[in-house]
Amino acid sequence: MRQHAGQELSPSRSTLLDTIARHGPLSPSRLAELERMSRPTITRLVAKLKAEDYVECLSDPDDGRSYQISISPKGKALRDVRRRRKSEYLTRLLESADERDLQILGGAAEVLMRLLEKDGV
């Protein structure tokens, strides 16, 4: 599905943008923790997103040495477009599935949701 979302972002920057949109504003340290990446890697990737105007970095009011990262209007618009492309692709795939395949997928989705809820996601 990632290939059908578009080529505007690398996979790692796309993942970061999604995480920032879901959890932001957040500090680079918290983003690194959520993504299980090193702080220097996060800093480098955030700098690229900021240079492309997909995120905004503002001083942290509680810690003058740090900053908070949030998604920008341009980043939100890109994220919306990428999500729409993926949804359209998935819809086309599902339209070609037969009834038995759809039942299997429905059961698998229920199992995944149950497991995710149990894991606290």
* CATH, residue 91: 1.10.10.10
Look up the domain containing 97 and give its range.
Answer: 2-118
Domain count, the chain: 1
- Of 64, 59, 66, 68, give the one whose Cα is nearest residue 24: 68
List pLDDT tens digits, range 34-78: 999 999 999 999 999 999 999 999 998 888 888 999 999 999 999
pLDDT of residue 101: 94
> For residue 35, what are its two tokens?
């993504």
pLDDT of residue 14: 92
> For residue 22, what are its two tokens?
């879901």
> For residue 40, what are its two tokens?
């220097």
Q: Is the pLDDT of residue 32 over 80?
A: yes
Sign of the CA dihedral with 119 first, then 117, 72, and 6 last: positive
